[in-house]
Structure 1
């Protein structure tokens, strides 16, 4: 009996589908941050951000010695000291990459969850809304300065972020879930961190400070030589970026010195009753006594490792 040969079973020639990856892996995340928060020295020393929790719609200017800064608001206002938290987070991610000898570009991708965990923000819907508004201000604020970065100067204005995007996914119910934040850091700050390597560590308690206290801490870290800074009150007001009258700043400094809550530093306001300083907007009325601010580094605890306050990146 002859058997008719049968054809071999046909194989499925359709291309195989790649194995599904978790949504988190769709982005090559630069977060979470595994090192401490750090910032670039010039951004600590000088007033680039508004000391406000609400929208600040007026331009900011700083002109002292040989440093000039002009900051113009967007339709949403000037980037604030709280928006600066995002810049610090990006700078810290970048510093970590440099230390690990990784390729360092200007694009960074991170999750809001990781950012909030570092800065101490809650993970509420309002925090995500604030994040969106902060990114818009960082991208829209225009900055012009004669401070050189990476051995190069710039003419004209730049923004902290040349690109800022929030990437969402949707659940079956149609709810949006934020997956990642993608930003592109401006050339000026990228050069400063990459080439100048003037990067300083921040105390973890920085994020619990108010706006003025944050600036006092930053100025102290960036400018206190051998752990001490002595400066007249009027000049210090300019460097902090305090926009209200000098009399208000004097009252604020008295309260801050009394509270003694600046991390790593002690602040004193010393007034000279014999010397007088101009009273803003008072005409020929009584002038306030001259005053100076003295900031000294707190003695390091015996349990703390020794080392310089400035953490310079290795070349």
Structure 2
């Protein structure tokens, strides 16, 4: 009985421990890549010749002075890494200098208010592109991780002091100058474009525009023309896939064209009616024409009948020999 209890207790302890261990190993084997590792880095200024900005991308997370990139004191400082191409980023980890308990307050004060940006080009330096994170609510820790799902090539650490303290709801060491003492910046994500998932082994849906999708879910950021939906797998007409403003524009154009077409049709019908009526009147008037008197006609106005040759015979009695009795009628 005692042996059975011991065995059961051992199993109850070993099995959960084994499960946790296997889970941790699985997660370690399925993590995003460090895209910043050994990539080219630059910064706003260099504190000393041996303090290289590339010290922050050498995979050494030791937060002592000799392992950290460092700028000089200034009102504005920045550090940037070039990932070598557009990458799908998941999160950014920052290790700030922390090698002296006595100076922790100074380190935190210098680090306070920092921002992280992701951009496609250096032309946007230092604050252009997408703002991934901005420290503003409380003093930051000297080691932090920031989820920032975005696509870009350059990751920039930026900080400044305005002199009036307006940017900080908390007290900092200096309101006029600061410095960057960055020991390591790790940018985790997928190095191959069009891939997602913790192992970066899932391909983005085929109709994602520019082959870009959410690094966790695979949902397309934008769809190719003619498609819609989270996976861009639903066909869409140009109108269906358009925004509300575009739909309103299309409706306005269609309504305007319809009105113009109706007006044109009505105008054509009216013109046709008027022309037909005018033609009918002229046709009626062509058989009876009033003629002004000729010299020697004693001032009388003649009525002239215009008739076809075949019809002349029925008016023979009105010819010259009978004209004396019909002095106001002329056959032509």
- Normalising by structure 1, we get a TM-score of 0.23
Greater relative contact order (Cα 8 A, min sep 6): structure 1 or 2? 1
Pick the structure with greater CA Rg. 2
- Normalising by structure 2, we get a TM-score of 0.22
